[in-house]
Amino acid sequence: MRTAYTADQIRAAEHELMARLPEGTLMQRAASGLAAACAAMLGKVYGSRVTLLVGSGDNGGDALYAGALLARRGARVEAVLAGGRTHEAGLEAFLLAGGRTAGDGAAGAEAVERADLIVDGLVGIGASGPLREPYWGLARAANAAAAPTVAVDVPSGVDASSGRVEGAAVEAALTVTMGARKTGLLVDPGAALAGEVELVDIGLGPYLPDPDVVGLTGADVAALLPRPAAESDKYRRGVVGVVAGSDQYTGAAVLAVGGALLAGAGMVRYAGPGEPVAQVRAHWPEAVVTELERPSLDGVGRVQAWVVGPGLGTGDWAREMLAQVLASDVPVLVDADGLTLVARERDLLGREAPVLVTPHAGELSRLTGAGREEIEADRLRHARDAAADLGVTVLLKGSTTVVAEPDRPVRVNGTGTAWLATGGTGDVLSGVAGALLAQGLGCYDAGSCAAYLHGLAGRIASSGAPLHAAGVAAAVPAAIRELTSRSS
Ligand SMILES: NC(=O)C1=CN([C@@H]2O[C@H](COP(=O)(O)OP(=O)(O)OC[C@H]3O[C@@H](n4cnc5c(N)ncnc54)[C@H](OP(=O)(O)O)[C@@H]3O)[C@@H](O)[C@H]2O)[C@@H](O)CC1
Ligand SMILES: [K+]
């Protein structure tokens, strides 16, 4: 399990640890980890050109001490001093080791341009608001330079506690983060700007509180995934009910049923009108299909979880089906058109059994009234708030998918690929999550494992090229195989 923390949590832990250690110990630990990571990236340290962007705080101090270590190994290190003040002891050590300073004007820009490696020590967890000048300009110069940038603690311009970016931010090839991962390194847009993330252990572990967010690893997902036992039969392995698709949108039904079947449901029951029924029958002879003359679940049979909403439409038929599904006593996943209906009629969510909603930012905006762009910029907060307000588990889809449930750390998933942003992949995800719910996982585990599997299946289906939703569904067994074979 990857854990991550807000700036305030880290600061409090550092405070406790620092009180037990001689002054400067933590920064020395941070700097030697940073210098080692820079050296590994450079390959050959001797004779290489390293340019440090140094802000006014301890983030700049880390960069200066690391720069001193690199200078002692023969690198030509220049520091662009960008702040009104500079970490004094760090600067002294840097100059003593043979480092040189460059101003923040034209000389600084040239130092950035000629570097083999840029170290971003402008701001870390002490930053507030968008980068000010000259930091802003230096961040842009670093991004325009040919050399890769190693960010100290967080890429400057990324809010450490949320991943939010207001204005310019450094695009790092590697972020060397001190003591513990920061939340903003796991959530986009911050996650995308951080590049690889390397954690330097400075001894903070025992002082850290419960994490702010967590990310499941492949091993975590493998351990959570239900596996059939010798005595399992199709009913005990979990029956998923799918209410999706309409005469107009038949594909959503096919894709949701496919996602559920291929993610290991014991049986999938599909109920809908004539057109999607014909399509589901043609694609998935394994599914148990009920053709409906009127919107009613009578005679559809028992299920352990429902998936409702993809391609369902938003008219009277859809509303009635949704209401009946939600009136059941099993977990329900609500997606797509189901979310539009729920946004109109929040009372539908008032039920005892668990609910997992799986909106993208636009659908969440309809549900909560927050602006779509606002949600994209601060996905964590909006997913958390929605979970608390609605009293449900929220899986907010996007480049990092986040799963929020009241009183639990948000789970973030980074396995996806940009190629997954194509029609129908959400329908597959709802089927996969439905299969996990039916097999007994709670909404929090089902949502986060489904996001992981779906992202991995997307990568397998894509291999760096365009994919289509049916291909993602087809790759779900390979994703499960990859996870379970790695961990067995
Ligand atoms: N504590 C520890 O034990 C350890 C800490 N460690 C390291 O320390 C880092 C935290 O250091 P920190 O607290 O000094 O804050 P930091 O992020 O360097 O900068 C804050 C200063 O920047 C400025 N500034 C703020 N916002 C700005 C903006 N938008 N645009 C421009 N400038 C802005 C503002 O200064 P001002 O300009 O107002 O004078 C403010 O005072 C942490 O990330 C890690 O790297 C490690 O060594 C491990 C041990
Ligand atoms: K930084």
The DSSP-derived string for 288-312 is EEEE-SSS--TTS---SEEEE-TT-
Q: Average pLDDT, stretch 118-133?
A: 97
Domains identified in the chain, total number = 2
Asked whether the predicted pLDDT for residue 74 surpasses 80, the reply is yes
> Do the strands 393-396 and 401-404 form a parallel or antiparallel pair, or are they unpaired?
antiparallel
Asked if residue 224 and residue 104 are part of one domain, the reply reads: no
Same domain flag for 255 and 279: yes
- Residue of the nearest CA to atom 13 in ligand 1? 126
Tell which of 212, 230, 263 closes a domain.
212
* Residue of minimum CA distance from atom 39 in ligand 1: 56
Ligand nearest to the CA of 57: 1
Q: How far apart are CA 285 and CA 262, in angstroms?
A: 13
**CB crowding 140-151: b at 16 or more within 10 Å, else e:** bbbbebebbbbb
Identify the CATH number of the domain in which residue 393 sits: 3.40.1190.20
Core vs surface per residue 167-200: b (16+ CB within 10 A) or e: ebbbbbebbbbbbbbbbbbbbbbbbbbbbebbeb
Determine which residue's CA is closest to atom 24 belonging to ligand 1.
127
Distance 124 CA to ligand 2 centre (A): 5
Asked if residue 347 belongs to a known ligand binding site, the reply is no
Q: Whose CA is nearest to atom 28 of ligand 1?
A: 131
Residue that finishes a domain, picked among 148, 180, 212: 212
Tokens of 34: 């940073």
**What are 80's strand-pairing partners?**
53, 102
CA of 100 to the centre of ligand 2 (A): 20
pLDDT score recorded for residue 463? 93
Nearest to 340 by CA among 299, 381, 312: 312
Same domain flag for 316 and 174: no
- Ligand 1 atom nearest to CA at 202: 48
The radius of gyration of the chain's CA atoms, rounded to the nearest angstrom, is: 26
pLDDT at 232: 74
Q: Residue 165 — pLDDT band, cuts 50, 70, 90?
A: very high
Q: Centre a 10 Å sphere on the Cβ of residue 369 and count the other Cβ atoms it contains.
A: 8
What is the predicted pLDDT for the residue at 291?
A: 97
Please indicate, yes or no, whether residues 125 and 55 belong to a single structural domain of this protein. yes
Task: Tell whether 413 is in a known binding site.
Answer: no
Query: Is residue 160 located within the same domain as residue 296?
Result: no
Same domain, 200 and 271: no
Nearest to 80 by CA among 46, 61, 55: 55
Based on the fold, state whether residues 28 and 133 are members of the same structural domain.
yes
Range of the domain at 259: 218-487
Which residue CA neighbors atom 29 of ligand 1 most closely?
131
Q: What is the pLDDT of residues 285-335, one digit of tens each?
A: 999 999 999 999 999 999 999 999 999 999 999 999 999 999 999 999 999
Task: Using a CB cutoff of 5 Å, list residues around ligand 2, an ion.
Answer: 120, 151-152, 156
Domain boundary (212, 238, 267) is at 212
C-alpha 82/C-alpha 121 separation (Å) is 10
Whether residues 290 and 438 share a domain: the answer is: yes
Distinct helix (H) and strand (E) counts, the chain = 18, 19
Confidence of residue 487 (pLDDT cuts 50, 70, 90): low
- What is the ipTM metric for this complex? 0.98
Q: 306 and 201 share a domain? A: no
Cβ atoms of 271 and 292 within 8 Å: the answer is yes
DSSP string over 377-429: HTHHHHHHHHHHHHTSEEEE-SSSEEEE-TTSPEEEE----GGG-STTHHHHH
Strands 288-291 and 149-152: unpaired
pLDDT digits (tens, 9 = 90+) for 331-378: 999 999 999 999 999 999 999 999 999 999 999 999 999 999 999 989
Spacing, Cα 375 to ligand 2 middle (Å): 25
Q: What is the CATH number of the domain that holds 111?
A: 3.40.50.10260
Closest CA to 159 of 167, 417, 138: 167
Q: How far is the CA of 344 from the centre of ligand 2 (A)?
A: 44
Please compute the mean of the pLDDT values over residues 271-283 and round it to a whole number. Answer: 97
**Do 208 and 226 share a structural domain?**
no
Pocket of ligand 1 (CB under 6 A): 14, 18, 26-27, 30, 55-60, 62, 83-84, 123-132, 135, 152-153, 178, 202
On whether both 260 and 203 belong to a single domain, the answer is no
Output the CA 32–ligand 1 centroid distance in Å. 18
Are 275 and 173 contained in the same domain?
no
488 has pLDDT over 80: no
